[in-house]
Amino acid sequence: MRYKVDAKESFEQSLLFWLDRFIKSKLTSLSNRHVEENAKLSSIIGSLNHGSKTMEELKELAKEARNIGLIGINLFINPLEKFYYYIVPMGLSSLKEIDEELLSEFLASQTGSLSDATKKNYRIALLGLFKFMDKQNEDEKGNSHQFRIELKNWGGLGGRKGEKLPAHMYKEELSRFFKAIDETEFKPYAQAKNRLLIKLIIFTGMRVSEALGLRVKDMVKDGEYFVFQIRGKGNKPRTAMIKCEHIEHDLHEWMEYRSSDSQLLFQSRTGKPLTQAYVSYIMDKILMSAGIRKEKNGAHMLRHTFATLLYQKNRDLILVQEALGHADLNTSRIYTHFDKERLKIAADTMDGLS
């Protein structure tokens, strides 16, 4: 079914109307393989069909969807929430007044302090919303309004030269970190689970969402290795391996505690999927115990640490790309910046000449 651009009486209500439908479209198109509470997802979609009364209500529905496994929804709801509170006070009379220039001004004024990766997420969210509206709006005569938002010339991105190098741990920090994994105290039923989860990420470089989505049947033992079948971004499959000696004790202990009702390898005490917020809590506690503080302390730093050491040890970008599941080799190229041996060659350039 298609709707008028200005579907409601006021600009604010019309914008919220379209945000409801766009977020609903994302909830039904994102991979739901990690969602076990299907009734809850149906309830959230039903609420969006009826329409949110406020932006806060829409944000809460998106939060509920994220908590049951649709992690990717944050890519859209966070930028669009900020856009909502930016544009509503302007007093526009119609959504048709929104154009490329206004969106560029929003991005320039609201994302200046953010990383390039986050800025790209803002652009993706805006493009997604307005392309959705281009396809779904229609007036009484059957005509549709086309926003034709492209944001190709937005100059807010600094390019690869403007990006910060990803936070990672050095070898001397890693020895303290591994010790802290085993020594940090958690509640008895979560002790082995937390150790196993963090070790899987640091020893394989898998994303947090990939680790949380692992099912018991995705794991098999092959000689002295455990082999994991991972579903990465875009539902793309890849394989990760880890030596049994690193996780066998924790795995055995966790399987003794774990409920057999869920297919997921990792779950809460009540059998529900774990959240990224829970993993952040684990990381904070372990890092504090190890006396390590970084600009970004989340578990994604473990993935960067794995990739950095993998490249330093093998000098093989293709291997890094395959191990991390990068679609583009250029994404893996960032880890060459940590190659001190290559930099030493540059440092020796003027030897014997000065």
pLDDT digits (tens, 9 = 90+) for 44-90: 999 999 999 999 999 999 999 888 887 788 899 999 999 999 999 88
Query: Tokens 């030269």 — which residue?
Result: 161
Residues paired with 264 in a beta bridge: 215
Task: Collect all residues with Cβ–Cβ distance below 8 Å to 314 and sequence separation of at least 6.
Answer: none
pLDDT tens, position by position, 7-51: 999 999 999 999 999 999 998 886 566 566 788 889 999 999 999
Amino acid 243: pLDDT: 95
Give the single-character DSSP code of 73: G
Residue numbers annotated as active site: 207, 233, 300, 303, 326, 335
The Cα 235–Cα 177 span in angstroms is 31
Evaluate if residue 164 carries a pLDDT over 60. Answer: no
Q: What integer pLDDT is reported at residue 23 of this predicted model?
A: 94
Q: Using the predicted structure, report yes or no on whether residue 340 has a pLDDT greater than 70.
A: no
Token pair of 153 as six digits: 């010339």
The domains found in the chain, sorted by start residue, are 11-162 (no CATH), 171-343 (1.10.443.10)
